[in-house]
Structure 1
């Protein structure tokens, strides 16, 4: 076991994948000489050389398009998008090419491409540097959409994504890059698309992912002082959803609050609420509630605290659930 930050766990995951498989390579803006803005690719250029750690022009469509071509030639590229808001120039390549290729070729051609995207707020960044665009990709068939919340999951979700034969979008919570935790680098403890109970409880379930896992754990700790025992379920995969784990947790607690930084309207919480309504009608003691960011553009950094969900808003939703 090693105690690592999420950033270092990702770095070690890339290093292990590249050492194990010469087909794996990394490309993106500043991933080589600089080691990435967040230093996720630090040291890889020295270890694996410029043919496998490629500094690209500032052209996200070109990054993903090049990754697609490399995958068609038998390689396993890992493309870094430097910040979440910069993914949109690559949106056409991702949704119209990367996601469709297996279907377009009737299953004959897979594209083992990983697109890494730092996402979410909480770092006081400029416009386009703090976004939560996950719903766009969850809505796109043909993509696995994953998000990590701990060093253990960061390390192994990345390695599992690289080994996956299909394209994977990996969202990494940039505000949590330097949070530390234990990492077992010998073997993964969960399959790639499995949810994880990070705090068992009996009174209500907080379904969440990415940067909001820490927020929900803080809310659960506060609720415990008032005698409420909240379960926190980290979804880890948004596409496909681990509905078996979601139903199991909902069945245990009979109250569900979905928490995410993405906007409320048509966010991942809306899909989860709809599925639970369809599949567990009558089994819950209250409607599924959602805590999310407001339906506006991401605000300037000085007011992002008013935009992002916090523990207080989560606890307000818990109180509302018990009022039914």
Structure 2
């Protein structure tokens, strides 16, 4: 089976879906001739033409607004916002138009569109290229929010998102575009070519939206993560010798709460890991759901390891991330209570 990194898997998902469905169009800033700043759309314009893969002006509100019209007309736009930090000028379009169209029209119109965007830190991009805004969108009814952690899932989830009749925010953790982190050194040391989840089938396949993956089974503690933090969580539990079950959410909305609930009721302990800032992050929602559903099974309070409650600190990027020290402290605290 061929091996791919996450960028290559995302590019392949575009090719597979565009070849199968002429209604799919891909556009955004620099995604056409240049193939995107991270090369996720490389070669698509050459293969499918300028009417199906094209560049857009530097106007996120315009990009998303145009996609709304296309989706209402019957096309299936897949738009790229170059960095998640740039999505805010288009936030009103997403909240007021994209998310509400099905409800506003009583199901007469749907919004079969995908908004892709690299998110999170790890490339020394500073405050305007490194944010993790997923919680802003999980709060909005009518949107689905997907964050893959492997090339295998990235391709399957993106195909599923493109084929979904409703709008999907597809956040791609750019810190692991080219390879996973071992969690110990804050540097990519394991190329995807040597990683089991880099074996990506050719052709069409999907990973269902709303289904989490148990990455590592365990009995003493449940660790819940998504995106880059899945690799950090795995490294932490293995380094500290804890029999922890690690769950990769893959999809934040819809959330696979059944898998989380089953795991926490088995282990009696839960630790949530997110790269985003702590206050009002998606981890807060996870902690509340666990408390509501698993209270009488818990042996300790639900714990969180997160980014700081500060604007993104460029000079302290690697300290900002949940890493080995904070992960070890949290693991020890949860296991001791």
The yes-or-no answer on 1:314 pairing with 2:327 is yes
The yes-or-no answer on 1:269 pairing with 2:286 is no
For residues 2 and 297 of structure 2, the distance between their equivalents in structure 1, rounded to whole angstroms, comes to: 42
For residues 318 and 42 of structure 2, the distance between their equivalents in structure 1, rounded to whole angstroms, comes to: 31
Q: Is the 8 A contact 1:219 1:312 kept in 2?
A: no
For residues 157 and 101 of structure 2, the distance between their equivalents in structure 1, rounded to whole angstroms, comes to: 23
Instruction: Note the C-alpha offset of 1:187.
Output: 5.6
Instruction: Note the C-alpha offset of 1:87.
Output: 0.4
The yes-or-no answer on 1:166 pairing with 2:166 is yes
Q: Is the 8 A contact 2:233 2:246 kept in 1?
A: yes
2:270 pairs with 233, 256, 260, which one?
A: 256
For residues 118 and 294 of structure 2, the distance between their equivalents in structure 1, rounded to whole angstroms, comes to: 34
For residues 190 and 88 of structure 1, the distance between their equivalents in structure 2, rounded to whole angstroms, comes to: 28
2:309 pairs with 295, 299, 311, which one?
A: 295
Instruction: Report SS of the residue matched to 1:183.
Output: coil
For residues 145 and 189 of structure 1, the distance between their equivalents in structure 2, rounded to whole angstroms, comes to: 16
Q: Is the 8 A contact 1:223 1:229 kept in 2?
A: no
Instruction: Note the C-alpha offset of 1:252.
Output: 2.2
Instruction: Note the C-alpha offset of 1:218.
Output: 0.9
Gap regions ≥5 residues in structure 1: none
Residue 146 of structure 2 is matched in structure 1 by 146
Deviations 1:142-178 (A, max 9, x none): 0000000000110011000000000000010001101
Residue 47 of structure 1 is matched in structure 2 by 47
The number of residues matched between the two structures is 320
Instruction: Note the C-alpha offset of 1:262.
Output: 1.1
Residue 28 of structure 1 is matched in structure 2 by 28
Residue 59 of structure 1 is matched in structure 2 by 59
Q: CA RMSD in A?
A: 1.1
Q: Is the 8 A contact 2:209 2:254 kept in 1?
A: no
1:247 pairs with 251, 261, 283, which one?
A: 261
Instruction: Note the C-alpha offset of 1:126.
Output: 3.2
Residue 223 of structure 1 is matched in structure 2 by 240
TM-score w.r.t. structure 1 length? 0.97
TM-score w.r.t. structure 2 length? 0.93
For residues 206 and 156 of structure 2, the distance between their equivalents in structure 1, rounded to whole angstroms, comes to: 9
